[in-house]
Structure 1
Amino acid sequence: MRKKYSEFHSFTIPIHKHTYPSIRIFYRPHANADSLPTTPSPLPLLVFIHGLGGSLSQFHPLLKSLANPAPCLGIDLPGCGLSSFEPKSWDAYTVGALVELLALVIENYRDSQAGQGIVLVGHSMGCSLAALLASSSSPYPSRIADHTLGLVGICPRSSPLSEKETAVIRRLLWIPSPLFDLWRRWDRRGGTESPSVSRFVGKEADLETKKLQEKFNEQSRTAVWRRMVKGLMDKKGGDERSMGGLPGRQVWSGLEVPVLLVAGEADNITRPEEVEKIAEFLGKSGADHKTSDGGVSGTTPDAPTQAHTPKIEKPGPNNSKTVTKDRGLVTQCTRQSNQAPKPRASISIPKPRKLLKRTILPAPASHALMYTSSSCHILSGLISDFLAAHVDPRLSLGWQLQYLATDGKWAVKNLIKWQAVVPVSGVIGGIFRAMKTLREADKRHNPKRFAEEWGPTGNGEARIGDVVDISHDSPVYDPHGLESGGVRYHKFPTVSKIPPMPSEVSDFVAVIDRLLAERTSRTSQSSDSENPMMLKGHEQHLVIGVHCHYGFNRTGFFICSYLIERRNYGVQQAIDEFAWERPPGIRHGHFIDELFVRYCVGLRRVPTL
């Protein structure tokens, strides 16, 4: 993806007059930009800014996820990644020059005529550059601050370099480059186990992350590092409004947009305490959230809520409320109907309010948390939730998928897609089989044939005694066909495209607990004289079938949630188990991200500043 959407351009910044002849730009427009509302403004542009010695490649896991709901722009700073090391003037790598270059690139790609806003996503030093671009009290005023709708800081630094840090850097800069290169080679002894790798990712990181960090270290040019680090400590005055150096209290306190700060507990480069300092600058002290010890049992309290749906100006299908009663089970579904509105010209978007959310991921989360397999999904989910809830509700991929689903769920093209899907999965966690929905008119996957093939009267093991239909619509089959074959039918309506809400998961878990308890009761009370479908031998091997339309996303989310909450599965373990028995597994990346956020992170609601 990065290669396909990358291009190289020359930029000349007007104030410093430096020309950068070959800057690598990654720009991926939204795949459905023409079909989504553009009034009062297009979808915000996400801008990714890497840190000292880094490159755009470090954002790859995030780009794979966040490029789906939003247009994305990234840059390899001069001499970093694939950008050429030109010019070589030290003045071209000061903080001021880099901020000016970023502002120029953003204005070249932002749809200024349509009033497109931006969200800045920075890592390490990139957070400082983002703050300088977005703050109303920045020493580098530009149009970018007026159009910034939000800021995400990953492993941020709160203040300028200290006198001690400055003294160390000055001594390093006195070392000639050839000697400095020798020291770097010595520091890399041991490859993935070298100090140069563990300094960033920690000794407990997985091998793939260590390999990535080793690659990033090798790509970092000494000459570029020396120039940039000198630019970080250069100042032309004694206050924070002076030109040069990293931002501190004055700049951070000038942010008037929603801010999300994420740090790693085991980060040795920018300590997690930096997040609390920035929070203090913004007017909040104390942690909004710190993750637990990484355990995944039970339901996470105050899990992130779904973003509210933007208000459509013209009349369209309203939210529906469905109440289904089934053997004592009452389920309410008050979320938006599957019959999503067709694209319209105007949409009401609430203005983002100034607020702060911050999260510290537990060890081994480190400075490399955005490309570490154990934390990148969590980070992606946190950012996605933040963008949809506090920046622009249209940045919810679920909302977009609903909005674009203008065809009937069972149009002919979807029928062909449905026919190609394997009807029933293998046994998942010893409890479930995932299914696609039944069709009354289908020759094979209809209720009567299904009950004969998969119902409790068969001779095979792990047959299906209950079917839980989680689709929102009325079923496109007659459930009586299941019931007459001994398969009990239960309706639990939910909405497609959007990860189930925590309350829905809790209700689903309760339903499955009840069904298992009822089965145990039936087994203990059964006798040889009873209906053959109730015999112990059959009940002992019965599992529960769960289906939405195709049996991948919502079905996978609910099943994985149950395995995590009731069977002590780890998040990745549950996802892998589902994918193994129902390949290719959960298809929507934002569903996977939400599972990691829901069960690896405990969030508290953050008050508005």
Structure 2
Amino acid sequence: MIALLFFLLGIAILFLLSLYLHDAYLAVKFQMYVDQQKEQMRSHLNKQADPNSFFFATDLSKNVEENCRLDYQYQVAYYLRTAADTSFDKNTGRSSKTFVFLHGLGGQMAQFEGLINLIPPEYTVFSLDYCGCGLSKRAFNSHLGRSPRELSTEGLTTIVEKVIEKHIFPSDSIVLVGHSMGTSIAARLAKRLGKKCEALVLLAPKNCFNKSELELVQRIKKIPSPIFSLYRLFDRFQGLKSPSVNRCFSSKATQAQRAQLWIWNRESDTYVWKMMLMGIESVLASSFTFPSVPTLIITGNEDSLSPSSEKELYQDIQGDFSFQVVEAGHCLLMEKPYEIYQKIHNFLRLSS
């Protein structure tokens, strides 16, 4: 009997080891593929590529990961691209408009890279990885001293507000661009910034949670992080066609886009992801009054997480408001960066 138990234990260990080795193999394979695709897109031979390609829109000289900085006070990594000299305001000597990009649950600021590089040089661009996400995870041990309250939507909004106050010039007006969970943070931050917030751009916002989704959150809450990490391992086992990737993209997403998202999904910290999920709030939570600020909402026609069919939920928004749809899934900022930029450009009436 004891021998049988040891045999079964050995089989289980070998099975788990094979899973982790397979996962590591896919990580190396997909990273090499992504790097190759980026270099090809940057070459002069590919100038006829689809302008909506996330990789085509990427500029090596403005690479988010290679040009990020660290804020040791708030334990976050951030990206700051200051405006060109020609756009300086005569009175302040600084740019008059700053775009702030806020990523979603399990995401990172690098997901905005294609969109960021389309913003004209006369505007300042700022983004950050929340504590425990993306490059912040690599630079800081964000598990230590972090309470669930700090990683809730309200807690993250407070941190983002403080980081913005620290790094963005006081006289700048701000355009907040949020994706998924980042839209909830952006909407709450817009209220705190008041008149300083010039406009709000919400990409694939999670409008509200139904009963089944709330029940799922409670079930996940009870699952120990190591067990949930194992579930995530199975969730991405099928690589580019895994559920972890499919739920975020439309049927038209490229292999390169899928490979990049798979890598980012793998990098997402399970503990931090769970804590953020526990404290997440929707854009249209009953306890929240939507800010009175010009608002552009863009959703994907194949987004099952934030379906465009929920447009009517925004019917009470006052003032300058636009709801638009693109042919994409939940990660529309990766699938259609150029198209999204054009919609932002037209809504804000940018100068170039």
Question: TM-score normalised by the shorter chain: which range applies?
Answer: 0.7 to 0.9
Q: Offset of 1:31 from its aligned partner?
A: 1.7
Is the alpha carbon distance of 1:386 and 1:247 closer, same or farther for their aligned partners in structure 2, counting shifts above 3 Å? closer
Alignment partner, residue 321 of structure 2 = 356
Alignment partner of 2:70 out of 8, 21, 33: 8
User: Is the 1:253–1:281 Cα contact (8 Å) retained in structure 2?
Assistant: no
Q: 4+ residue runs of structure 1 moved beyond 3 angstroms?
A: 33-42, 249-254
Q: Offset of 1:179 from its aligned partner?
A: 1.5
Deviations 1:62-81 (A, max 9, x none): 11111524101101011111
User: Is the 2:183–2:283 Cα contact (8 Å) retained in structure 1?
Assistant: no
Is the alpha carbon distance of 1:198 and 1:110 closer, same or farther for their aligned partners in structure 2, counting shifts above 3 Å? same
Alignment partner, residue 307 of structure 2 = 271
C-alpha distance in 2 between matches for 1:43 and 1:72: 12
More helix by share: 2
Amino acid at match of 1:133: L
Alignment partner, residue 80 of structure 2 = 27
Q: Offset of 1:248 from its aligned partner?
A: 2.0
C-alpha distance in 2 between matches for 1:81 and 1:275: 31
Matches within 5 A, 1:443-482: none
Q: Offset of 1:250 from its aligned partner?
A: 6.0
Is the alpha carbon distance of 1:96 and 1:253 closer, same or farther for their aligned partners in structure 2, counting shifts above 3 Å? closer
C-alpha distance in 1 between matches for 2:311 and 2:238: 32
Amino acid at match of 2:178: G
Alignment partner, residue 260 of structure 1 = 296
Alignment partner, residue 197 of structure 1 = 245
C-alpha distance in 1 between matches for 2:287 and 2:86: 34
C-alpha distance in 2 between matches for 1:175 and 1:23: 27
Is the alpha carbon distance of 1:68 and 1:360 closer, same or farther for their aligned partners in structure 2, counting shifts above 3 Å? same
C-alpha distance in 1 between matches for 2:66 and 2:165: 22
Alignment partner, residue 92 of structure 1 = 150
Alignment partner of 1:59 out of 112, 122, 126: 112
Amino acid at match of 1:152: V
Alignment partner, residue 164 of structure 2 = 106
C-alpha distance in 2 between matches for 1:40 and 1:28: 16
1:91 alignment partner, SS class: coil
Amino acid at match of 1:366: G
Alignment partner of 1:222 out of 270, 273, 282: 270
Alignment partner, residue 351 of structure 2 = 396
User: Is the 1:252–1:282 Cα contact (8 Å) retained in structure 2?
Assistant: no
Alignment partner, residue 367 of structure 1 = 330
Alignment partner of 1:127 out of 165, 168, 183: 183
User: Is the 1:58–1:371 Cα contact (8 Å) retained in structure 2?
Assistant: yes
Amino acid at match of 2:324: T
User: Is the 2:95–2:123 Cα contact (8 Å) retained in structure 1?
Assistant: no
Matches within 5 A, 1:190-589: 190-232=238-280, 245-248=281-284, 254-278=290-314, 280-283=315-318, 354-362=319-327, 365-372=328-335, 375-387=336-348, 389=349, 395-397=350-352
Amino acid at match of 2:305: I
User: Is the 1:120–1:150 Cα contact (8 Å) retained in structure 2?
Assistant: yes
C-alpha distance in 2 between matches for 1:211 and 1:95: 28
Is the alpha carbon distance of 1:174 and 1:188 closer, same or farther for their aligned partners in structure 2, counting shifts above 3 Å? same
> Across the two proteins, how many residue pairs are aligned to each other?
285
C-alpha distance in 2 between matches for 1:58 and 1:85: 22
C-alpha distance in 2 between matches for 1:35 and 1:225: 39
Deviations 1:211-250 (A, max 9, x none): 1111111111111110000011xxxxxxxxxxxx334266
Amino acid at match of 2:182: G
Q: Offset of 1:23 from its aligned partner?
A: 0.7
Is the alpha carbon distance of 1:271 and 1:256 closer, same or farther for their aligned partners in structure 2, counting shifts above 3 Å? same
Amino acid at match of 1:54: G
User: Is the 2:97–2:175 Cα contact (8 Å) retained in structure 1?
Assistant: yes
Structure 2: runs of 5 or more not aligned = 1-61
Which is higher, the Rg of structure 1 or of structure 2? 1
Q: Offset of 1:91 from its aligned partner?
A: 2.4
1:152 alignment partner, SS class: strand
Deviations 1:48-68 (A, max 9, x none): 100000000100001111152
User: Is the 2:99–2:177 Cα contact (8 Å) retained in structure 1?
Assistant: yes
* RMSD of Structure 2 on Structure 1 (CA): 2.2
1:158 alignment partner, SS class: coil
User: Is the 2:94–2:169 Cα contact (8 Å) retained in structure 1?
Assistant: no
Percent of pairs identical after alignment? Answer: 29
Alignment partner, residue 59 of structure 2 = none
Amino acid at match of 1:59: F
Q: Does 1:80 align with 2:133?
A: yes
C-alpha distance in 1 between matches for 2:102 and 2:110: 11
C-alpha distance in 1 between matches for 2:283 and 2:238: 36
Q: Offset of 1:203 from its aligned partner?
A: 3.9
C-alpha distance in 1 between matches for 2:81 and 2:95: 14
Is the alpha carbon distance of 1:66 and 1:28 closer, same or farther for their aligned partners in structure 2, counting shifts above 3 Å? same
Amino acid at match of 1:163: K
Amino acid at match of 1:188: R
Structure 1: runs of 5 or more not aligned = 12-19, 136-141, 233-244, 284-353, 390-394, 398-609
Asked which structure has the greater RCO (Cα within 8 Å, sep 6+), the reply is: 2
1:8 alignment partner, SS class: strand
